[in-house]
Structure 1
Amino acid sequence: MAASYDFSNKVILITGATGGIGQATALAFAKAHAKAIVLADLPSASASASTLVSAITAVSPSTSATFYALDVTAGDQVAACVHATVARFGSLDVAFNNAGVLSKTASLIDTPDEEYDRTLGVDLKGVFLGLKHEIRQMLAQDPQGGVIVNSASIAGILGGPMIAPYVAAKHGVIGLTKTAALEYAAQGVRVNAIAPSAVATEMIQHWLQDPAQREYILGGIPVKRAATVEEIANSVLYLCSDAAGFVNGATLVLDAGQTVQ
């Protein structure tokens, strides 16, 4: 049974909002009666966003939902998204920096420089820019403060062969999370990260459908399955809720025990 949260007075911003985890988290915030949810994603996601807006309205008619076309690697676009959110809804209370890509499989020495730049641009620089502009707004508003959750991965805790750029990016996300948490806690801004292992999203479906790859991915997970997107979403809501008021600078590992073996 999912925990019950109340975000009825909160304005939520989610990047990478139309994908598996982002979509599930948006719906979870709607079920928790969020005041408003801004779905930020690439322009190509506009059709998916329209469907998600309708689903949010069906779940919670009192929740305002809108799509904002955004490239998280462009600082001016991130700043404009935050500004537009506040201009329309009055504040920014919660941000989930979820946009991400998985680097193409290759050994480190065979990874093209362009692939490294692409992956670090979305997965790490995107989080940096999100933090920069979200925190700036949270410090300026009255009342001051807010909550931010960043999407990391167990690849940010463990090594990961054949995906060096992704591993580097996710280690960086955890470092940014700790630093931001230390710098702004006294001003009412909490910053945490989630570190899931395998999650049943479109991003890894092609691997899960291959028996050998499936065994490699799930074999180290004690429960022998991938997480559902709803399980990850519920963890994000916990970190954003008052129930987690003393949780700051933490990385919540969501791996069914994979990293403690």
Structure 2
Amino acid sequence: MGKGVAVVTGAGSGVGRAAALALLNDGWSVGLAGRRSDVLEETASMATAGTPLVVPTDVTMPEEVENLFATVTETFGRLDTLFNNAGGGAPSTNFGEVTYDTWLRVVEVNLNGMFLCANAAYRTMRDQSPQGGRIINNGSLSAHAPRPGSAPYTTTKHAITGLTKCIALDGRAHNIVCAQIDIGNAATPMTARMAGGVPQPNGTVVSEPTMDAANVGDTILLMANMDLSANMQSVMVMSSQMPFLGRG
């Protein structure tokens, strides 16, 4: 069985793929979740160790999330770690022009979808024997400071911080720990859309440096391999040259 059993959502690209590969190559069994089976299969084919299990899943659909965790536990016997990663944003839009449809679309994935996955993982970890596990929620640097024109995304990421703390607190009774990783400018398809520059607080548009997403995978692996008696409650991993520390 290897070192443990994990589920990674959004495992078909970006930091989800990097985290899934880090876990697999360390000998974990990993349920790969995402909407597109082809890119999930591609992630699975890139692993040099471990046991991948492709489970196409739309995290905004409760029945598909339930199927994901049922399939993983039926296949591997338990669940040790969830990297609750699936999410997305919207084009930079001044708050006055944000439509309700855009708001709902971002909230549905970034907040509702993350709730559904965390809740299903929590119940799985609570009810298994031996009890317990680790949930790692993907926040963002936007959980700390927004970019201009990012109200829906930033609001959901601030909400994830509250969700993480509540799960960590309630989980103590069941040996479930919950942490948050806040990632800045990993080189992924999402940041590739920022190649033309990113709006800054002073009204300028500036091209920002990125880091290899493998750094995020290494961090997730470090967190996942910790004993449940310890938790890296909050971690920030970002490109060392990005302007985040000087915002404002």
Structure 2 length as normaliser, TM-score?
Answer: 0.90
Q: Would the aligned equivalents of 1:174 and 1:251 in 2 still touch at CA under 8 Å?
A: no
Structure holding more helix per residue: 1
Cα distance, 1:227 vs structure 2: 2.2
State the partner residue of 1:41.
34
**Number of the residue aligned with 1:228:** 212
Partner of 1:142: 129
What is the aligned counterpart of 1:50 among 13, 32, 41?
A: 41
| 1:135-214 equivalence runs, <5 A | 135-208=122-195, 210=196
Partner of residue 130 from structure 1, selected from 117, 137, 142: 117
> Which of residues 50, 69, 87 is equivalent to 1:82?
69
The root-mean-square deviation of aligned C-alpha atoms, in Å, is 2.0
**Which residue of structure 2 lines up, in the alignment, with residue 18 of structure 1?**
12
2-structure distance, mates of 1:94, 1:163: 30
Runs of 5+ in structure 2 lacking a partner?
A: none
The correspondence for 2:223, drawn from 239, 246, 250, is: 239
The one-letter code matched in structure 1 to 2:116 is L
Query: What's the CA shift for 1:259?
Result: 5.2
Give the corresponding residue for 1:117: 104
The AA in structure 1 aligned to 2:42 is T
Question: How big is the shift at 1:104?
Answer: 2.1
Compared with structure 1, are the counterparts of its residues 192 and 212 closer, same or farther at alpha carbon in structure 2 (3 Å cutoff)?
A: closer
Instruction: List runs of 5+ in structure 1 lacking aligned partners.
Output: 1-6, 219-224
Shift of 1:21: 0.6
Contact residue 238 and residue 244 of structure 1 kept, 8 A:
no
- Assess if the C-alpha contact under 8 Å between 2:12 and 2:42 holds in 1: no
Aligned position for 2:79: 92
Equivalent residues, number: 240
Report if aligned partners of 2:134, 2:177 keep a CA contact under 8 Å in 1: yes
The whole-number CA distance in structure 1 between the counterparts of 2:105 and 2:192 is 21
1:246 partner SS: coil
> 1:126, CA displacement in angstroms?
1.0
Give the letter for the 1:8 counterpart: G
Deviations 1:35-78 (A, max 9, x none): x1110000xx211122222222xx11xx2212111111111211
Structure with the bigger percentage of strand = 2
